[in-house]
Structure 1
């Protein structure tokens, strides 16, 4: 077990160093590093099956991202979000502080559906043209959107992390969620504070930009389009309400879960393309315009599947988890939930949510039972590190996020790391003070 623990930790350290130092691209690091460590561990003959298993796990996410990018790309090209952008401009009056705070409000509202991909799609699509128009750093937009998803979907029982924690330990969702509401509000407050600080820095750098609110400003937005320079001829203002109804229908069906998300976005993309660009040549041009972004994101997702498949298949993840539990001294038993909350930051960064909540969390809950700790406290503590988790290259929605703001995962990690840790620590402190965890 010690050898596997050493290999697992070493693999994560080497991988993180290579992408953050830009020695390798994320795709190369996600693919090559686990293969090398798998061979070193003596798993060479079995690596093919492990990687294939990992690809099977991420295939639905890859399909979802592909068709979601194309779906929202078509709607952006058609000008669906132009009225929202104009309205925001009238409210913010070129003030970076108001833009950053407005971004947080929009992102946290959208993130209530628990889906990170949808949140990033809508938030980035609506706000990135403003950031580019005013010269603001797009990493601020990415950081705020990421933090909003991590808190709103991380702590709500219909969001992915909390759902996994509740299911893994067989808990009641109501008992889990109601006591943690003050902690969630504290997380939201930390996002607004972060937005204010980042916006204030941009205001100091840029000042309050004077923007004319002329009706003909549509051309200005085209210059700062999200995916590519959108020609005026591609806009479909007369179909705006139709596109809005289509978008709302897709979002409602997504939340209700009536249709698998990848299939839903495929159908939505096909309908959006047929309605807005009935000419086949125009459809081809629109798909080609977004193909680069889609291919980059999907490639990253499949590479992440290879990493996760080897990490899980070699049992490195189990060894790391068991070793962690073994080194926790008994004197910390009464503070075990706090220990779980603090360790959830690094653990969820290097592990997928499935690996952590279905693999590690039951072990932690069992260890906590030895100290008389309620599993509910362990479950609540486990979701408090989600802001850091969402910086992981194993998170599909984060890969989409960096693609939409045209940066790389290493840049986002360097910029947002301290803010994600700040957000997690604020929630942990409030959780302890309110008695949600010991």
Structure 2
């Protein structure tokens, strides 16, 4: 019964979101609430589950709020203006060069493993160019999502940290065997960028790009630029990312401190500080309410044990003689399941069940961990309605969430299939 309620919750949620019949925010809250009540859970029980889910996502919510504020502030100061100027000079109005450049830039930026920061940097730098050339707006979030998804396998990303924790393995055991898959995924993403760019070149041609990023700025944008503080801001950002990667401090605390220093040095007057925060309040509010709504969704599915029931049902469908298929099936389904499971729900709810099933069948349990990270909240996270950074991606790209999902899904799923195939060929996972 619980498994059925769980599958119905996810199916109805996805149907409402993709068909645009209900907003993502309301779907995250109302759909699990309805099915939990239908399952006989009392309002008091649901209240505790909701609070538990919100408490679980609170550190992530704080992290994202201050990450948005910090990188928005860096954009205001003009830290990324040289990047935009350099890209414009290199691409020379060629859509093919732009799409490939988008992929390479995103892979480089996402070495820090922070989706929100990557999306803010890349989208802010590249969107004006896409607009100027009249390129399909969906191409930008698609290529950025694919590139960030593959690079999210770096061992310091939140997803990989969860996987290593659950599998009780280090990066050498979990990541090193699938490095060929990661490289194959990167090459596939570059191929997709080339293919989409070639189609766009045929559609609009090579457009003379008489565009200066700095000249296109409004008077207000020029007034808040801080070119004299460029090296301070660049150094602060590098130190911040390094500290995040090395885990020298809890990430939310790092972002809070980094934002406070950046705001004080760049805009010492209180009136300026208030204006900077007011200008970005909309983005912060959107990101924060989405992450807490996702906490409601996760809290109810976890608290009602729908997650456990669904995981048990999935495992029970596999006969013992076909247990060797479990890693392959995990890899194939890993990306699509990002649309239904939060990273915590999957890695702390589903993956332990898969791990124990492998142990029960006397198989190498680490293989399901390797298979899971080939898509579950790695390639899949920039399409998932359950990750706050996805809303940063679509919001900055000025596209509809459902349009982004429909356009990007096949390419993201293709990435996971390619990576799973390479994992099979190289022996990282076995049939």
Q: Tell me the TM-score range normalised by the shorter chain.
A: over 0.9
* C-alpha contact 1:346 1:389 (8 A) present in aligned 2: no
Match of 2:10 in 1: 12
What secondary structure, in the 3-state scheme, does the structure 1 residue paired with 2:398 have?
coil
Instruction: Give the distance between the partners of 1:407 and 1:25, measured in 2 at CA.
Output: 14
Secondary structure of the corresponding residue to residue 169 of structure 2: coil
What is the match of residue 375 of structure 2? 385
Query: Is the CA contact 2:336–2:413 (under 8 Å) kept in the aligned structure 1?
Result: no
1:351 aligns with 2:337: no
Secondary structure at 1:218's aligned position in 2? Answer: coil
CA contact (8 A) 1:301 1:399 kept: no
Describe the shift of the 1:180–1:137 C-alpha distance in structure 2 as closer, same or farther (beyond 3 A).
same
SS in structure 2 at match of 1:91: helix
Deviation (angstroms), 1:185: 0.4
Residue-by-residue CA offset, 1:190-237 (whole Å, 9 max, x unaligned): 1111111222222222221212366xx5122x26xxxxx953222222
Whether the aligned pair in 2 keeps the contact of 1:108 and 1:152 (CA below 8 Å) is yes
- Per the normalisation by structure 1, the TM-score is 0.93
| 1:238-282 deviation digits (Å, cap 9, x = unpaired) | 222222112112212221222222222222222222222223222
1:53 to partner: Cα distance: 0.8
Which of 212, 215, 221 is the equivalent residue of 1:219? 215
2:300 aligned with 1:310, yes or no? yes
Local SS of the residue matching 1:85: helix
Cα distance in 2 between the residues matched to 1:7 and 1:172? 36
The separation in 2 between residues aligned to 1:412 and 1:105, in whole angstroms, is 20
Corresponding residue of 1:282: 272
Residue 148 of structure 1 deviates from its aligned partner by 2.2
* 1:322 Cα deviation after fit: 0.1
Q: Is the 8 A contact 1:150 1:390 kept in 2?
A: yes
Cα distance in structure 1, aligned partners of 2:155 and 2:262: 32
Say yes or no: does 1:398 pair with 2:397.
no
**Structure 2 length-normalised TM:** 0.94
Q: Return the offset for 1:408.
A: 3.5
Partner of 1:323: 313
Contact 1:90 1:213 in 2 (8 A): no
- Cα pair 1:138 1:405 within 8 Å, conserved: yes
2:402 is the counterpart of 1:414: no
Range with bigger deviation, 307-316 or 74-83: 74-83
In structure 2, stretches of 5+ residues that fail to align are none
Instruction: Tell me which residue corresponds to 1:226.
Output: none
Aligned with 1:12: secondary structure? helix
Q: Choose which of 249, 252, 260 in structure 1 pairs with 2:250.
A: 260
The residue that corresponds to 2:187 in the other structure is: 189
Quick one: distance in 2 between partners of 1:333 and 1:181?
A: 25
Structure 1 CA distance for aligned equivalents of residues 3 and 95 of structure 2: 46
Aligned-CA RMSD value:
1.8
Q: 1:54 to 1:230 in 2, by over 3 A?
A: farther
Deviates more, 1:63-72 or 1:301-310: 63-72
Are the counterparts in 2 of residues 70 and 290 from structure 1 also a CA contact under 8 Å? yes
Structure-2 change in CA distance of 1:133 and 1:264 (3 Å): farther
CA contact (8 A) 1:65 1:400 kept: no
Q: CA deviation at 1:355?
A: 1.6
Query: How far is the alpha carbon of 1:138 from its aligned partner?
Result: 3.5
Residues 72, 113 of structure 1: CA spacing in aligned structure 2 closer, same or farther, 3 A cutoff?
Answer: closer
Higher deviation after alignment, 350-359 or 127-136: 127-136
Deviates more, 1:165-174 or 1:34-43: 165-174
- Cα 1:115–1:74 change in 2 (3 A) is closer
1:68 maps onto 2:70 in alignment: no
Partner of 1:52: 51
One of 291, 308, 315 as aligned partner of 2:281: 291
